[in-house]
Structure 1
Amino acid sequence: MPGTKLPTENELANKYGVSRLTVRKAKGKLIAEGLIHSIQGSGSYLTKPEMWKLHPFTIESIDDILNLGKEMAFKIHEFRMVPNNEEISKKLKNPQDRFIFQIIGVRYFQGQPISYVHYHLPFALGSRIPVEQLNADPFIPQFENLAGIQVAEGEQSISSGRANRTVAKNLGIRQGSPILIMETLYFDHQGQPIEFIKARYREEFRYNIRVTRRKMGSTAIPGIFAGT
């Protein structure tokens, strides 16, 4: 039944009198077909129904993103201080910081790994967050509570890519598999960037975005060409 843990590769090889390579190839095909999934350090499991395929999430606001996070669990792999770099400093607008705080981990939905995530926090913010108090709940409310900040708005870019070895291992997919890459930048009420997230999702993940016009009438909306 879904969620059942499978025997190890050695156990399967011994049981059926085949090599581990044969077992590994067969397991790779089953993973590619979505019939089983692997969790790093735990093993392989029969896949549960992927509900995000059947009922895509709808995003209209930051609150919807937080509610989406409540449907998932997050496992922290590391939380540490790392050197700042050009890409991150441009996002966080903090070239003065020699170091930033980085959180790396995996989001799970119904027990299945769905995204491999990097959180990047400015030094002043990250240094106020005790890692031992973080849990699997959505991080934004935790950051707001522990660091005394408040998220006011965010922007997100979406692109496609291929899973490298690390991403593939953590998501239980083949290296080179298509993935969805989401980069999200959150700001406080002063417009200061306070968190940059880069998440790599399995290609099956889907969500809808619903938008509304800020101003009705014949006058063009600022930043949008009339007639668009």
Structure 2
Amino acid sequence: MTDQSVSFPTESLEYKLGRFNAKERFALIQRVLGVKFVPHDDFLGEVLAKCGIEVTTEKVFCAMDFHLDWLYAALMSDELRPDEPLPLLAGESGAFPVTGRQQDADFVMCFTERPANAPAITHLLLLEAKGVGNWDTKQMRSKLAQYRAMKPAFDRNPNVRPRLVLMSPLNPISSATRQSAAFRAVLDSFEDFGEIVWVGLPVENTFSVVRCNAKGTPDGKTPTHWKLSSRQAALS
């Protein structure tokens, strides 16, 4: 597996994040396509503009499906020492920052801005994507609760600036539909990382395969037939 951490200083958050990045899909895409995980210039520029980050950079750590437990460990570790027991402390809400679940950020981008006469600033962009169907309110509430429980880790890294970025065909933040009200309420309650931003995610029309009866009525228990069903792009 390609160790993306080697191109960053060992004391950097980018390096430490790379030491946890154990996703096979990450290594598979690099191996099959012969590419490194780096953001496209146009996409990076759009995201930075939406986040109000006025800096250009050529070295960005990227990872997909990155466990939040890994993120917490990277933020809490000055040095990465295996097999050393560390106290498991609950956050202000009573929730634990290390859950043991595979709750993750869909995509992570991290890079450090080093102004000439000012302390370095590490930008941590946490991307959540939804291509088809509806945003999962329960899942988002759970992820944001874990981010809140990780507050001590962010507090000990004041140079790290996290931002939450949503990606989908339609903007769930500006939507005024009743269907999206609960999801928007969850987003509105989360102010830990500043303003949540949205970036468009074009999705092609695709089909799903559905088990059904002879009349085409979905039936997952006693199906006799199957059919194709058009997927709906992520609703706001």
Q: With the length of structure 1 as denominator, give the TM-score of the two structures.
A: 0.23
Higher strand share: 1
